[in-house]
Every structure is written in C-alpha cells, then in structure tokens.
Structure 1
Amino acid sequence: MIRLFRDVDGGPLCPDGSVVCIGAFDGLHRGHRALVCRAVERARALGLPAVALGFEPLPREFFAQGSPPPRLMPPRTKVEGLARLGVDVVGLLRFNRRFTAITAEEFVRRVLVGRLGAREVWVGPEFRFGHRRGGDLATLQREGAEHGFTAHEIEPVLVGGERVSSTRIRAALAAGDFEDAARLIGAPYAISGRVVRGRQLGRTLGFPTANLRFAGKTPALRGIYATWVHGVGDAPWPAVSSFGTRPTVDGIEPLLEAHLFDFDGDLYGRRICVEFVARLRDEEKYPDLPTLVAQMDRDAVMARRILQSTPSTQACA
C-alpha cells in the first residue's frame, strides 16, 4: 500500500534510504512517467523505496490564487497514478507562505535528508526549487556531495520536436484536440472520481447523470463532450458529458456530469473514470429548461454518432 505524507518536518520515513523524484506531476504525462519510471527502476535496483515528491497546491496555484491555472487532475487521481507506476511513498508537501521561505539548502536538509534519507534524487529538465527558485540541479549535486546522495536529470521527452509539458496538454484540451493531448500524455485524457449526489435536476429532465467533483480545483476543460465511462460494466459505456458550472440553473462549483446512454442503475459512491473523446460545444446559458433539454437531445444524438465510430482506447483505473 502506498504511503502519503504532507509535512516538511517529522520523523524519518525511509530509515534505510530512498530514491526520490521531484516534480509537479499534474497530468502524469509522458515526461512525468519517464522521470518516475527512472526513479522506480533505480529504487528496485538498490532495494530501496521509490518516492515521488510534489506539492499541494501546486506552486503556480498558490501564487495565482485569484485566477488559478487549470489543473489536469485532482490530487487523489495523481496519487493513484503514481502508485500504479510503482511508487512506494508520495509526498504532497503543503505549499503555503511558510513553505515559500524555505531555502533550497534547507529543503535538502529537512526533506530529502531528514525525512527521506535520499540516496539518489532525480529531476526533470530545468528543475528549480527553494526560496525564489534559488536551487537547481547543481545545487542538488553540491548538497548531495555533502549529505551522501547523488542527483541526476533525465533527458527531455519530446513529441513533435518539442518538450512534453502540462502547458502543452492544457492548450490541446482547450482547443478540443484530444488526439494531441493523448500523444503528450501517453493515454487518452480522462478524469476519475467517486460519483456524488447532485441536485438530481437531470433526472427530472430525462437526463440522469453520474456526477464527479474536481476537488475544488480549476479544471482544464469546460463544455459538452462525447465520452466513454469506465467502471460501470464489463466494457466502457457511451455517454455525453458536461463539464462546467451549469449556468442555466445558476450553478457555481465546476462539476463533471456524465449521462450514460440507456443505463438504468444506481452509481452513487461508485468510482468511475470518464474518458474524453470529442468536444461538442461550449457550455451555454439558455432562457428556460425546455430550450436546454432540446439542446441536450441534440448533444446526445451527436455524441452517439461520434462514439459509434470512435472506440475506447483506454482501460481506466
């Protein structure tokens, strides 16, 4: 079972040592996977636990609290994905005002050495850390020589001649280019979570939905989509999904609502995964509910047509 910790200070978590990789890991794209898999490979070779070290909230979210940048996945999904890649320990350090004052050297001493007993540290290209981003790979290597660990940088992962990044994935999703997003991620873009109870308005309109919250984060998608839903039956289930704030009924919190075609059952509390296939349109505010229902009917017809010619290519966890 994977172990999760949030605090900079505390007792040693890996008394015999560890192999650590550090990153944001938002989206767990091909670059992240290359970094994590390298650390896991080295950890297995040394007989040590593999640690993925990140931050929550993400630094860019903390410094842009008024208009936080979109997230590709909520924290729980990130932890689950890291576990599937073979990570033994995940650190989602609390990124707050106090944390921003920690120097790079102090971070090494308190976290990498004090908590994790790092033997090797792996980072991605252009990695920076610590107060005012004052630390880099050279800092890690210098500190490692003093504290008994080595530090390494993986080669950049390129797609289309450019480095894979969460920024590129967000741009692809915003443009509705799910094929490009899948190339960058290494798998179709999908969101998983536990089905929660909503206002049940969709049921009264003839469109019952399975609803997923996005952990209070700003999602990278907004609109109406053709989707496959995993975790309902033996095979992916076709659906039309809305991701947004439901302006026609004065919604506030972003909510992913999946209407599963020809499905009759109770999904509350079930963990499902929604795989995005195609963007149908923007989210809009309609003058009344009948107008909204008429548009939902058109959306459903379009989504069914798209999914008939676009099979699912992913088995979501």
Structure 2
Amino acid sequence: MPDRVFDGSKLRDRRVAKRLSQADLAAGLSVKTNAVYRWENRLATPPQERLPAIAAMVGAELDELFPRLGPPNLADLRCDAGMRQSDTTRYTKTASPMPIRAAEQGKRTLSDEAVTALAAAYNVTRAELLAAQRRSFGHDVPAIEPEKATPSPQVVDTIAGKIKYLQTELYDGALLSDADLASSGNRKSGRSLLTEELVRNLRVGGLTTAPDDVLEALALAFDVPPVFFRSSDPEIGRLVVSTRAVRSQFTVMAARGGEQEISQDVRDQLRDFISDTMAEILGSDADDVPT
C-alpha cells in the first residue's frame, strides 16, 4: 500500500497556525530543528511512524494532514499507532520483532494470539487487522466499513445470558474455550470445581443454576467479582463490566508506557477522583477501599 502523503508546506502552515516554531515542534518530537526544516522544505520525509505524533503536535487529524490513498496493510497500521517494529514485542511477547517483520513482508502470518494483541495495540478490530494482513500478502482487500452502532446488549438474568453479555462487551465476541475457562477458574480458586462439560452446559443454558462455589470459580475465570453471576440486578452487571473495561484500558496504557507520561500531580488527582467516586457509589464503606 502507498505511504501516507506527506506535504511539507501543509505541515508548515499548520505549525504556524498553531503558533509553534520549528524548534518547538522539534523539541516535542525529540528531533533536531534541522529535521523539521528539511521536512517542511521537501528535503526529507519523516518516518511514517512519526506522522501520528507530528499531526498531534500541530492539532491536526492524521487523515486530514497526511492522507492515505488506499486501505492499510500491516505496516501502515503499525505506523498509524506510532510504533516501530521493535515496539511491538511487548504485545506479541516475543524476543524479537521477527514475527511482525515476516508478516509485514508477506512471508508468514501472525499467530492468533498476536492478531488479538496487536489489534488492541493498534486500536483496530481483529477484522481490520486480518484484512490488513491479507493486503501485506498481496491480496486486494477492500477497506472494512465501520460497523453501524447497535444498542448495547442487556444483562440477562441467567448464567448463560451473563456469559453472553461478557462475551459481547469484554471479549469482542470471542471467548476462551470451555476447557481454558475451566482450567483458569480452577487455578485461580485453588480447587477443581469446573470441568469443560460443566462450563459448556452453563454457557449454552443446559444448566441454569450452580452452587455458589462454582459461580465463584466461574467469575474468577472471567476476572469479574462473584456478585456478577449471583445478582439479578442488571445495573450491577453493567457496573461490573464498565469497571472491568476501564481497568483494561489502563492496562493497555501502562503496557504502552503511558503511565510514565502522567505526572504525579495528575496521578494523585485521578486517585482522588476514583476514591471519591467509589465513596459516592458505596457509601461510607468505600473509605476502606484501597486506591
């Protein structure tokens, strides 16, 4: 696929409109002022992975300032996320970026685990990443149309319904296997309470009830509190899932090194806000909630 179109004069115009000097822009990007001079005068072109940061510095949308003339391949998605190949190893859990390099060069496809991890890191869906991978292998794949917004699913007051709700809201429609869920729940609970067959029956509605210790192990498998499966209040279900989603976002941010970019003052304000919010929700008992 073609690189994003870089126009040095457009960058200069946006920089001036933002009242930034070349030195200001260079400092924000951790490059030399001469590099910005060369970009704006068409003497050089910045690496594609720098374009998102450049657009952000001058307050422009990436697609508006540096448009792309076709749908992205794997390398394009990585660059749009502001990453070099070496930056991806923290997500793929590999010692080197060779799997990424091989996939971007159309030599070997990514593992399913890497697809899931990189889709989250690049802030795209699995479908978009898989389509980009096919383009890297020379296939003509049209751009993935954004999905139309659909009403959020309701929390159904059955074990099967709640598992379906988790599947939709937290796992993008793709759960771990029943065997993996059983293994995870048993490991976290320290007891052999779940089997593959039991999890399957609970998931498809073959069983509609289960002992409290089984529900607790199931909750541990999904990394949610037991109250999610025990309560019949849909608001509690939505609160659990919303909180879990926020925690996942912070986990991704930390993996990207985001927490190092947050000043201690901001961290303290966030901590106070979370503490105050919990106190408002739970009442005086929230005073003992760790922050």
Choose between structure 1 and 2: higher strand proportion.
1
Choose between structure 1 and 2: higher helix proportion.
2
Same fold (TM over 0.5): no
With the shorter chain as reference, the TM-score category is under 0.3
TM-score, normalization by structure 1 = 0.23
Larger radius of gyration: 2
Structure number with higher relative contact order (C-alpha < 8 Å, ≥ 6 residues apart): 1
